[in-house]
Structure 1
């Protein structure tokens, strides 16, 4: 676009906005802002704007939207939906600087905001409403019959951090809310999504407008060609029968203390446990040196006030500080200029690493810094073959290579989300003050975002809700809340689609070890760290909030270190490509380079270049090189056939079996049709992964769980292909090195 075109686009903005931007030092509009401006000013098409963090996505949406409101004498409404309250607070301050010149009010609306802004909007509905999905749910539920009065002049809906919603129950809730709002208003309201770059932006468009993604315009911001200083460091420690890799992490903490003092960094370990470990270790280093504590934690279990102190210290602190954080600081909360990012343990996804690196290097002519640390144990005679391949290090290198190649995971959008459908049925009853089953199915499924739910499945779901006294059907065939349903919908927690984390008692052989907030996605077989030890969950009683634990074998932190993130097929394929070849990237330190070389030699020596099975004594390892959804499904198929199988990330480990016996079982599975989830899964061992799963009939529960976690078809295809798999063997007493 020429300078003349850019000037012409700028002049289409409301004159007060033009003056405001000049006063703020703007010299022109960025590429994404120029491309989005006519699309949003026109108001007829949905738009997804994708760009890196701090690239002006917010202004790309709001400059034309505010112009539209100004042209309409400021009586219109724009709804802005964000996943974080802190993000809403940031945007309120940012948008107020623009809106005050236009005399357009801004109303933040979430659980931590008082009643005054809400009352002002309800009395005079105009301006910008900045809201979370949960507060929008509450608004629709409590004031469903007032939607035309409140949002009759709604111009557009902006969804910030669109990528963070895709594939989650919260995302499906948001899709349903936007569709219900369209229905309540009797018209199609323009939707604008602000997203990080994804592997398939078409899926982001489909998410924004289910069934109409092909008509959504996607605006892609040109690559800003940010410079990157990159180093991967491996920290080794002798293999020992301890319950943590504490020695390596202690060494990393000491190095971070020396390197990061005097600068603002974000440090991303892969768990809340490690966030606390590093926060404590770095605090001790500061105190021992007689220095102020400039390393502070930030994660979702901390109180809101504590998180805000960290955010404010990063942004305006008297001293440079570094935050040790979870995914809470991946999103676009304003934390000022960050020098660099430290990733500890392999990133679970390329998209997550991209978000993290995008937080750094925003000053002009300043490179972003990425330091990747991997805590690595030296293999011993007691470790298994996977340890010879240093999977955490190899995964970290693979993810970084894909990141540098600008490949990102496509979002997972195939989940059925029956749990969220339960919530939406109950909420829709409240919004409409009763609804027929046919109208509920039409709104939520036939024309809404739950298109994968058949009419028969919906009827089965309603019967289960009636049996649980969540709803009933009156003489006029209206669905209304039952006795139990009334209690549920009138509790503040109803408006969230995701489950609450509540404290559970942890016990080992009847002895209480302590208490821990436990996400309801946890299930039997999962590993957690508590009291400096590694435990495997034996059983969960959600009613009594009790978890029975047993010591986990080969006590150490989980091997892949990627937290709850699901590893994609492409990442595992890249890991194999690294091990098959002999390339050592220049951005590895000497230790990481030597370990990768050893892993490549061992991979060849173990026969894994051509073979898929490796026999070690009474254990057989399957090297399928597939993502977690496929490998979890294959492990589930094997367990359903009586085998002791577990997805270890780099491989699937099957214990107490020979390779010949395993191949026989694989052939039996391959000869039968691909099983239904109900034939493979055990509900008692799965816990309650989503909030309303407890009320689902077995068939729907299993189908819903599998749609989120497993790819049974791909796993069954692996079993069919296994007839050509070759096995190599290694004596457990004969280490390669």
Structure 2
């Protein structure tokens, strides 16, 4: 890897021919941009290169000008240039610009993707364009057609846009092998990658080129950033807004500050971390009649295009969006970016704030609005790292076996037959697969052969296309998990208003449920699984639920969590040295981009935390009752992995399950009686680090997330027809059937890659045991331990729901039905409404009070209890029934009410019941809070 040389002034354009320079003059480009100054001289030599610069800084023209120069005036037959973008279609503005260049230089440019008509595809095959703009998946299809394969033989340049988005996904891993298959046709070609700022450009360069050498042209963005972190002061206006918006004063202050910032600027993007938050904030802006559009991936394409056009035309002052706007969608000039709550990652902040002020020498201006002390500390660390250019490394998605399966079929689609070792050589030229062993490759081939997706001649060591290859390959052109999307249709107008993810529909969507989409509230009328459609009707009720979208919380990386730990330690030291909070705040403002009010609000938690401080080098363990909290600044994935190890080993020692909840700074465990912080610390201090991976893999066998992932991977291997989440297959049986196959190995590998951080956790265990990380114990709860995160804040209603909402919850649960089932005689079973359940249920047959309260559809649990020979699933159902019965026996109807709530099993019901309260309404408020938590963050772990 080499650094691209900087060429000053207009000298970069001298590396281009007369035709391109003439077109530049006509276009009005007299002076190259910074990326152009640095990259064009490198690209003009034909070298492979990775151009790293913020979104919207002209990377496309930077890459294409020297490519156009190389192509213009030459005798062309097939396709000379592939421009590959992960976006489904190039944004309209960029396409217009490329077509303008094509007209000026007599270069034919066309676009091909999944929506391209059959007529247009045929025309492209018969008369190939000089430059083809396409998607990674369409490249896969093109490599199988005889005419297109001939056209691709002439490819000399490949430009991969948004390569950072592809590098950490299976979609990108698939493309890297696709490029090696293209090399088989075209020979060597120039590879150019366009990337947003990343922490390890050399690794992304290897991903792009297969480690054949790559010039890195990196444009520094830190010096052009102006980022402020703010927590607004609550004003009298916020008190009035809170009532109008049906929310609390604090949330009202956030909405008011966003409104004021939008008013102060001409064109503002407001980024949030989840679609749920986008919808919730959007509904509040709608209430205030603000000129704000909503943009996220679950809105229909026409709805997204409409708000993009209105925003670009100036009809909307702001666009409220998720990561859907991080990529190169053109919405015109933006002069400010608001990030609501911490962006969680430095790279994400750079991409988002980098969308403002794209003109040369103009600062990219942004404000992060924070909601809790921990949120502020995190945002301060991220903002500082962004300015310093300290960005997270890109985790290359290495060695995905279902991608290998997919590409073996792709090779056979193009060649008909191929030697197994020749196929292995092509696959392992791609950087994500350079360490793939022959043993693993052969296991994949045998799995495909067993599934009748190819013929394997073991003696000749050859692979041949079979009758099932074609169908399998075209069913799996994309490596994105195949999951249904339900159309949401307004019953009144008949128009589609958006979509819902399959997992949301399966787990939550029932007739009568309420959710928000496009800033409006809707009640579900009907769910049609056959047509994959949800029919809704608009409502005015402000107490409805926000949809529980599939996307997980953006993971906070280790480096950011460590930065927060260091910030805590510095602040605590200031207090220990006698500084007041005002003095400590001023010191913080000298080092970080914030104001004294924001700093003081964040420091209040540190000031109260007078015991051992959890920081970058210290874990603090605290406990209260059966809850033990390990405060650890290690980030989402390491904390999740540590939590799984503790949960598995404590559970193994006690024979009881351990409740687990993690965030980037805490691992909260609800442990069996008798388990103490000393037991948890013993796990940390005595577990052999090399055993961590084995413990995790054993615990995964019982986890729903593995079974869910196994179904998806099995589909990609052709071992299972397309999965629908209706529970029509037995997940445990599937796991048993696929054990000791590459399908199972890949499902485990993918869960470890996406959810956990095993190597890093092993290192943490080593540091703990060598004394590099200290462990302190405190009794009771601490301000840091109870601080929590802002991600789950309910934006629509106050945290203490008002009386009308509480009454609604009461009435709904009273009218819900439950199964009452006697676990003593196992004979008596009755289904009835909650309001008809006596204060202390009792079996009329045997007089026992050991009565389980079950969901009205839970006949399987009744059968499981009654059967004498139980499988693993039935054993778990039985244990769950006994826990429910113990609650009912101890707490009577109160337990029945808690168990009847949505998503509240025996574990959470016990927590709700045991909490001391002043009145009954608080009991129902806690039930409502748990139901909302279930709806928002339903995990796929058991």
Alpha-carbon separation, structure 1, partners of 2:714 and 2:702: 11
Alpha-carbon separation, structure 2, partners of 1:710 and 1:57: 34
Whether the aligned pair in 2 keeps the contact of 1:466 and 1:482 (CA below 8 Å) is no
Q: 2:562 matched to 1:573? A: yes
Partner residue of 1:52 out of 37, 51, 54: 54
Change in Cα spacing, 1:564 to 1:305, as seen in structure 2 (3 Å) is: same
Whether the aligned pair in 2 keeps the contact of 1:347 and 1:562 (CA below 8 Å) is no
Q: Paired residue for 2:757?
A: 711
Alpha-carbon separation, structure 1, partners of 2:407 and 2:248: 45
Whether the aligned pair in 1 keeps the contact of 2:229 and 2:370 (CA below 8 Å) is no
Rg comparison, structure with higher value: 2
Matched position secondary structure for 2:197: coil
Partner residue of 1:438 out of 400, 413, 421: 421
Q: 2:128 matched to 1:125? A: yes
Q: Which one is further off, 431-440 or 59-68?
A: 431-440
Q: Paired residue for 2:409?
A: 426
Alpha-carbon separation, structure 1, partners of 2:502 and 2:565: 33
Cα deviation code 1:527-553 (max 9, x no counterpart): xxx9579xxxxxxxx9999xxxxxxxx
Q: Paired residue for 1:661?
A: 679
Whether the aligned pair in 2 keeps the contact of 1:415 and 1:708 (CA below 8 Å) is no
Whether the aligned pair in 1 keeps the contact of 2:635 and 2:665 (CA below 8 Å) is no
Query: Which structure's relative contact order is higher, taking Cα pairs within 8 Å and 6+ residues apart?
Result: 1
Change in Cα spacing, 1:700 to 1:70, as seen in structure 2 (3 Å) is: closer
1:425 CA drift (Å)? 2.3
Equivalent positions of 1:193-208 (< 5 A) are: 193-208=193-208
1:448 CA drift (Å)? 6.2
Cα deviation code 1:42-83 (max 9, x no counterpart): 22x211111223333222211111111114245561110111
Q: How many correspondences in the alignment?
A: 672
Partner residue of 2:358 out of 325, 344, 362: 362
Q: Paired residue for 2:688?
A: 670
Change in Cα spacing, 1:716 to 1:36, as seen in structure 2 (3 Å) is: closer
1:122 CA drift (Å)? 1.9
Whether the aligned pair in 2 keeps the contact of 1:616 and 1:731 (CA below 8 Å) is yes
Matched position secondary structure for 1:197: coil
Whether the aligned pair in 2 keeps the contact of 1:420 and 1:497 (CA below 8 Å) is yes
Equivalent positions of 1:299-314 (< 5 A) are: 299-314=296-311
Q: Which one is further off, 201-210 or 644-653?
A: 644-653
Q: Paired residue for 1:209?
A: 209
Cα deviation code 1:574-607 (max 9, x no counterpart): 1011111124236435553222211222444344
Change in Cα spacing, 1:719 to 1:2, as seen in structure 2 (3 Å) is: closer
Change in Cα spacing, 1:700 to 1:683, as seen in structure 2 (3 Å) is: farther
Change in Cα spacing, 1:729 to 1:40, as seen in structure 2 (3 Å) is: same
Whether the aligned pair in 2 keeps the contact of 1:233 and 1:588 (CA below 8 Å) is no
Q: 2:257 matched to 1:270? A: no
1:209 CA drift (Å)? 1.4
Whether the aligned pair in 2 keeps the contact of 1:613 and 1:659 (CA below 8 Å) is yes
Whether the aligned pair in 1 keeps the contact of 2:8 and 2:37 (CA below 8 Å) is no
Q: 2:105 matched to 1:84? A: no
Cα deviation code 1:636-661 (max 9, x no counterpart): 22232224433222122222231111
Q: 2:455 matched to 1:457? A: no
Q: Which one is further off, 3-12 or 110-119?
A: 3-12
Change in Cα spacing, 1:155 to 1:522, as seen in structure 2 (3 Å) is: farther
Over the aligned positions, Cα root-mean-square deviation in angstroms equals 3.9
Matched position secondary structure for 1:101: helix
Matched position secondary structure for 1:567: coil
Matched position secondary structure for 2:105: coil
Cα deviation code 1:338-372 (max 9, x no counterpart): 12111112112100100111111235775433221
Alpha-carbon separation, structure 1, partners of 2:164 and 2:5: 32
Change in Cα spacing, 1:458 to 1:517, as seen in structure 2 (3 Å) is: farther
1:154 CA drift (Å)? 1.4
Q: Paired residue for 1:408?
A: 391
Partner residue of 2:704 out of 685, 691, 704: 685
Q: 2:101 matched to 1:98? A: yes
Alpha-carbon separation, structure 2, partners of 1:178 and 1:598: 54
Partner residue of 2:638 out of 630, 637, 641: 630
Q: Paired residue for 1:230?
A: 228
Alpha-carbon separation, structure 1, partners of 2:215 and 2:70: 19
Partner residue of 1:588 out of 566, 586, 594: 594
Whether the aligned pair in 2 keeps the contact of 1:634 and 1:716 (CA below 8 Å) is no
Change in Cα spacing, 1:54 to 1:434, as seen in structure 2 (3 Å) is: same
Alpha-carbon separation, structure 2, partners of 1:733 and 1:128: 62
1:278 CA drift (Å)? 1.8
Change in Cα spacing, 1:444 to 1:246, as seen in structure 2 (3 Å) is: farther
Alpha-carbon separation, structure 2, partners of 1:231 and 1:665: 39
Whether the aligned pair in 2 keeps the contact of 1:81 and 1:160 (CA below 8 Å) is yes
Q: Paired residue for 1:159?
A: 160
Whether the aligned pair in 2 keeps the contact of 1:602 and 1:736 (CA below 8 Å) is no
Change in Cα spacing, 1:117 to 1:226, as seen in structure 2 (3 Å) is: farther
Alpha-carbon separation, structure 2, partners of 1:94 and 1:605: 61
Alpha-carbon separation, structure 1, partners of 2:504 and 2:177: 22
Alpha-carbon separation, structure 2, partners of 1:568 and 1:655: 25
Whether the aligned pair in 2 keeps the contact of 1:77 and 1:155 (CA below 8 Å) is yes
Whether the aligned pair in 2 keeps the contact of 1:263 and 1:321 (CA below 8 Å) is yes
TM-score normalised by structure 2 residue count: 0.65
Change in Cα spacing, 1:693 to 1:400, as seen in structure 2 (3 Å) is: farther
Change in Cα spacing, 1:221 to 1:399, as seen in structure 2 (3 Å) is: closer
Q: Paired residue for 2:775?
A: 726
Alpha-carbon separation, structure 1, partners of 2:689 and 2:218: 47
Alpha-carbon separation, structure 2, partners of 1:487 and 1:361: 48
Alpha-carbon separation, structure 1, partners of 2:559 and 2:248: 31
Change in Cα spacing, 1:130 to 1:665, as seen in structure 2 (3 Å) is: same
Alpha-carbon separation, structure 1, partners of 2:7 and 2:368: 45
Alpha-carbon separation, structure 1, partners of 2:384 and 2:546: 25
Change in Cα spacing, 1:256 to 1:736, as seen in structure 2 (3 Å) is: closer
Whether the aligned pair in 1 keeps the contact of 2:221 and 2:389 (CA below 8 Å) is no
Matched position secondary structure for 1:19: helix
Matched position secondary structure for 1:154: coil
Whether the aligned pair in 2 keeps the contact of 1:580 and 1:603 (CA below 8 Å) is no
Q: 2:748 matched to 1:702? A: yes
Change in Cα spacing, 1:133 to 1:142, as seen in structure 2 (3 Å) is: same
Alpha-carbon separation, structure 1, partners of 2:276 and 2:563: 29
Whether the aligned pair in 2 keeps the contact of 1:257 and 1:285 (CA below 8 Å) is no
Q: 2:272 matched to 1:296? A: no
Whether the aligned pair in 2 keeps the contact of 1:33 and 1:60 (CA below 8 Å) is yes
Change in Cα spacing, 1:86 to 1:276, as seen in structure 2 (3 Å) is: farther
Whether the aligned pair in 2 keeps the contact of 1:640 and 1:681 (CA below 8 Å) is no
Q: 2:369 matched to 1:373? A: yes
Equivalent positions of 1:432-581 (< 5 A) are: 432-445=415-428, 449-473=432-456, 478-480=462-464, 486-491=470-475, 494-503=476-485, 517-518=500-501, 531=514, 563-581=552-570
Instruction: Show structure 2 runs of 5+ residues with no match.
Output: 240-245, 488-497, 508-512, 517-528, 533-544, 572-586, 652-657, 720-741, 788-942
Q: Paired residue for 2:578?
A: none
Q: Paired residue for 2:375?
A: 392
Alpha-carbon separation, structure 2, partners of 1:375 and 1:519: 31
Change in Cα spacing, 1:141 to 1:256, as seen in structure 2 (3 Å) is: same
Matched position secondary structure for 1:219: strand
Q: Paired residue for 1:508?
A: none
Change in Cα spacing, 1:103 to 1:633, as seen in structure 2 (3 Å) is: same
Cα deviation code 1:15-39 (max 9, x no counterpart): 2322221122222223432332233
Whether the aligned pair in 2 keeps the contact of 1:266 and 1:323 (CA below 8 Å) is yes
Change in Cα spacing, 1:278 to 1:427, as seen in structure 2 (3 Å) is: same
